[in-house]
Amino acid sequence: MNKKGNGLSDLNRIIEYRCPVCNRLLMKGKIITVETKCPKCKKISILRNTAI
């Protein structure tokens, strides 16, 4: 018997990573650590997944 819903559990949820300065969406996904530069405000950020 299948349950209706969006099919995402807490473990499979895709995380949104946003710029801490301008709040622009930088990426979605599962990461360990990544360094990125916001194309809007040029802030360089190190993003880490704290859910691991």
Q: Are 44 and 35 in contact (CB under 8 A)?
A: yes
What are the tokens at 13?
């949820």
- Report pLDDT for 1: 43
Distance CA 10, CA 44 (A): 29
- Other CB atoms within 10 Å distance of the CB of residue 25: 10
Asked if the model's pLDDT at residue 10 lies above 50, the reply is yes
Distance CA 19, CA 45 (A): 7
Against a cut of 0.85, is the pTM above it? no
- Report pLDDT for 42: 96
- Report pLDDT for 50: 73
pLDDT tens column, 13-35: 888 999 999 999 999 998 899 99
